[in-house]
Amino acid sequence: MRINGTSIDDPRNSYLIAEIGVNYFDIAEERDIPPLNAAKKMVTEAANAGVDAVKFQSYSADRLASKQSPAYWDTEEESTETQYELFEQYDDFGKAEFEEIATWTEKNHDIDFLSTPFDFEAVDYLEDLVPAYKIASADITNHPLIRHIARKEKPILLSTGASTIGEIDDAVQVIEEETADPELALLHCILQYPTDPENANLRMIEHLDQVYPEYIVGYSDHVPPDEGMITLLNSVFHGARIIEKHFTLNKELEGNDHYHAMDPSDAKEFTQNLAKISKTSGIFRKRPISVESDSRDHARRSLVAARDIQEGEAITRDHLAIKRPGTGIPPTMIEFVINRKAKHKIKKDEIIGAENI
C-alpha cells in the first residue's frame, strides 16, 4: 500500500497521522486569530514534529446528525448534550477552505493532507485534494458512502471502532465490489472518548492482521498521551503500520478533542522513540552479522592440549582442555579428535588444529 508515494509496508516505520479534526476552531478562539490561520499553524506544528500527514474532518451538521442525536462522549470533558449541537459549532469550513489548506500544505510542507468526508458532497470536493480517503468508524455500516468513496479508486483507511468482524467483512466486501485490487488499511479503534488505557485492546490489531492478511492494519487512538507515548509505541509492536492520533496545540482546552490529543512535543517524542526502536530492530532472519566476526573467533572455545602430547601418541579425553579462543578445533568435534594420533609433539596449552592430528 502506498499513500502519495509513501510505502506503508515497513513494520519499523509507521505512517503517523496528526488528526487535527476541527480543533483549529478552539485554537483560533484561544489565540484570537482566524480559523484558517489557526489550521495552517497546526499543520506547521505537526509537520515540524515529524508526522507524515495531517487530517481534518469535512462535514455539515445538517447532513451528519439529527437534532435529537445524543452525546456518546464523556460529558464531563465535553459538555455538549447532542451531536448536532457539537457538530454545528465546527462546520464552517467547506470546499474553498479545504482547497486552500491542502494547497498551502503541499506548497509549504513535505507531508500529506487528508480529511475524513462524512457525506457525498465532501467525498466529491476532496477527490482532487487528498491522496487517500479516511472512513470514520461510525460510518462502517454506511455502505452507500463507502461505495461512493471506493469508486474514487484511492487508498482507503477504514476505522473499525465498535465493529464486529461481520460488519468489517461487509464493509470490505463493498470496497472490493467497486475496486478490483483495493489499497486498504483497517484501523483498530475503540470508540470511547477518551479511551481508558485498559480498554485500548491493542492485541486486536494482531487479530485484524490474521483475519485480513492481504490488507494493512493500523490504529486510531483515543487514549490520552502517556509518558514516552508508550501506547502508540505498543501499537507498533502489535503490528500497526498506520497510526492516527488527535492533535492539538493545547491539551488544556475544554471540549472537543483536545483532552485526549497529542501535542507537538508528544508527536516528537513518539517519532524519536520509534526511530530508536526501528534502529535496534534490524533484520528478521537470525544469523551472525559482520560486527560479530571477531567474537566468533576469539570468544568461543577450542580444544587445547591439557598436557604435552607426544608425536604418534593416541589422544585421550584427559589430553584435552576446552579454552578460548575459538580458532582451533571446536568442542563440538571432541569425539572426532579422541583416539586420533598426534602428527607431532603438541605442547601443553597449545591450541589444537586439524593440522595437529
Span 177-201, average pLDDT: 96
- Does 256 have pLDDT greater than 80? no
Span 58-86, average pLDDT: 81
pLDDT of residue 65: 84
pLDDT of residue 92: 86
- Does 277 have pLDDT greater than 90? no
Give me the phi and psi of 312, to 5 degrees please. Answer: 80, -5
Among the residues of 179-229, which ranges form H helices? Answer: 204-211
Span 331-345, average pLDDT: 97
Mean pLDDT score of the chain: 94
Span 114-134, average pLDDT: 97
Q: What is the pLDDT of residues 25-41, one digit of tens each?
A: 999 999 999 999 999 99
Contact between residue 263 and residue 248 where contact means Cβ atoms under 8 Å apart: yes
pLDDT of residue 282: 85
Question: Per-residue confidence at 185, pLDDT binned at 50, 70, 90?
Answer: very high
Dihedral sign, Cα of residue 83, residue 174, residue 4, residue 214: positive
Contact between residue 221 and residue 207 where contact means Cβ atoms under 8 Å apart: no
- Does 86 have pLDDT greater than 80? no
Helix (H, G, I), strand (E, B) or coil at 298: helix
Q: Which three cell numbers stand for residue 315?
A: 589422544
Give me the phi and psi of 203, to 5 degrees please. Answer: -65, -15
Query: Domains in the chain, ordered, with CATH?
Result: 2-281 (3.20.20.70), 290-356 (3.90.1210.10)
- Does 75 have pLDDT greater than 90? no
Q: What is the pLDDT of residues 309-333, one digit of tens each?
A: 999 999 999 999 999 999 999 999 9
**Cα distances (Å, whole numbers) of residue 45 to 40, 41, 263:** 9, 6, 9
- Does 343 have pLDDT greater than 80? yes
Contact between residue 1 and residue 183 where contact means Cβ atoms under 8 Å apart: yes
CA gap 96, 109 in Å, rounded: 20
pLDDT of residue 88: 81
Question: Which residues does 176 contact at the CB level (< 8 Å), separation at least 6?
Answer: 182
CA gap 54, 109 in Å, rounded: 11
Q: pLDDT above 70 covers what percent of the chain?
A: 99
Span 162-178, average pLDDT: 98
Give me the phi and psi of 236, to 5 degrees please. Answer: -65, -45
CA gap 327, 277 in Å, rounded: 35
Question: Which residues does 301 contact at the CB level (< 8 Å), separation at least 6?
Answer: 322, 323, 324, 325, 326, 330, 331
Span 238-247, average pLDDT: 97
Give me the phi and psi of 21, to 5 degrees please. Answer: 60, -120
Q: Report CA Rg, the chain.
A: 30
Contact between residue 242 and residue 219 where contact means Cβ atoms under 8 Å apart: yes
> Amino acid letter at 283?
I
- Does 72 have pLDDT greater than 80? no
Question: Per-residue confidence at 81, pLDDT binned at 50, 70, 90?
Answer: confident
CA gap 172, 169 in Å, rounded: 5
Question: Per-residue confidence at 87, pLDDT binned at 50, 70, 90?
Answer: confident
CA gap 161, 45 in Å, rounded: 28
DSSP letters spanning 122-190: HHHHHTTT-SSEEE-GGGTT-HHHHHHHHTT---EEEE-TT--HHHHHHHHHHHHHH-SS--EEEEEE-
Span 9-14, average pLDDT: 78
Dihedral sign, Cα of residue 129, residue 132, residue 136, residue 142: positive
Question: Per-residue confidence at 63, pLDDT binned at 50, 70, 90?
Answer: confident
Q: Which three cell numbers stand for residue 17?
A: 497521522
Q: What is the pLDDT of residues 89-121, one digit of tens each?
A: 778 899 999 999 999 999 999 999 999 999 999
